[in-house]
Amino acid sequence: MKLDLRKIYRFDPIERQPDGSLPKGGDVYYECGSCKDVVSSVSHIKAACGCGNLTGGGGTTEIKTPEQVTPLRGKLK
């Protein structure tokens, strides 16, 4: 089952960490630059973007190509 998080949350882009790494947190999400899918930065359920760049589960998200990822802050609509 595919869940479109954009129907639940309003997303705003946020900056990367000063060292260039991606921020993490309960309200931080990652948008894949290739397929435009959104995955939680600390996904506790199995989740992945359409192209496979982002894969999450167990409280972590793995990223194959970090330079193609945009960090977002999500707030309920």
Res. 3: pLDDT tops 90: no
Please choose, from the candidates 77, 52, 63, the residue with its C-alpha nearest in 3D space to the C-alpha of residue 30. 63
Q: What is the pLDDT of residues 4-61, one digit of tens each?
A: 899 999 999 999 999 999 999 999 999 999 999 999 999 999 999 999 999 999 999 9
Which residues are registered as beta bridge partners of 72? 13, 29
26/16 Cα distance (integer angstroms):
16
What residue numbers bound the domain in which 39 lies? Answer: 5-76
Name the pTM for this structure.
0.93
Indicate the number of domains in the chain.
1
